């Protein structure tokens, strides 16, 4: 079975990554202006913006949850951890506190949870690349959990919408 990439970057960490990107932008722009004079402000801002965007993208790309045959790897730019499959009690597809649909794993210790996916409610058929990628992720995660024999609970409204609009059948018991 292929590895599955998932993960949700919390708002606080997203803000932190954007702040780092902004600081890189300002730093590079300031350095170029200091080296070449005030006539290079526009060049400094442009080069700084490229550097800042690259830094931000690198941080977001490194922040991922990867489901593999051997375990679940939780990575951020500054640390990583491995969650063995035997710590996973169940999966659930429910509403989160922001009204989005969240696919999360319940872990054995301390009632911890690991959010794999957070998507806006599905109200129509796949209409673009974002919808297609999220549909693929839901299918891949579900297949991985099924292969690992981890039960998945899906709210009836979510199951009905996924079945109707994205043609993802509700989970079945084995």
pLDDT in tens, 2-31: 788 888 888 899 999 999 999 999 999 999
Whether residue 143 contacts residue 150, with contact meaning beta carbons closer than 8 Å, is answered with no
- Output the average pLDDT for the chain: 91
Please tell me the distance from the alpha carbon of residue 124 to that of residue 91, in angstroms, as a whole number.
Answer: 24
What are φ and ψ of residue 149, in 5° steps? 60, 45
Whether residue 150 contacts residue 90, with contact meaning beta carbons closer than 8 Å, is answered with yes
Q: What angle do CA 119, 124, 129 make, to 5 degrees?
A: 60
Q: What pLDDT was estimated at residue 99?
A: 86
pLDDT higher than threshold 60 for residue 173: no
Please tell me the distance from the alpha carbon of residue 123 to that of residue 125, in angstroms, as a whole number.
Answer: 7
pLDDT higher than threshold 70 for residue 174: no
Q: What pLDDT was estimated at residue 3?
A: 86
Whether residue 95 contacts residue 102, with contact meaning beta carbons closer than 8 Å, is answered with yes
Q: What pLDDT was estimated at residue 172?
A: 62
């Amino acid at each position: 079975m292929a590895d599955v990439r998932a993960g949700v970057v919390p708002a606080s960490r997203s803000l932190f990554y954007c702040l780092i990107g902004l600081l890189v932008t300002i730093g590079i722009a300031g350095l170029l202006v200091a080296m070449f004079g005030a006539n290079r402000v526009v060049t400094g801002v442009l080069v700084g913006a490229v550097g800042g965007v690259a830094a931000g993208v690198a941080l977001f790309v490194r922040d991922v949850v990867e489901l593999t045959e051997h375990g679940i790897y939780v990575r951020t730019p500054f640390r990583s951890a491995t969650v063995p499959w035997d710590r996973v009690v169940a999966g659930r597809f429910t509403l989160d506190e922001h009204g989005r649909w969240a696919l999360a794993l319940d872990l054995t210790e301390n009632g911890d949870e690991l959010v794999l996916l957070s998507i806006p409610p599905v109200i129509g058929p796949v209409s673009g690349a974002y919808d297609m990628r999220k549909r693929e992720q839901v299918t891949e995660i579900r297949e991985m959990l099924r292969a690992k024999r981890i039960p998945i609970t899906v709210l009836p409204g979510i199951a009905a919408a996924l079945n109707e609009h994205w043609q993802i059948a509700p989970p079945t018991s084995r």
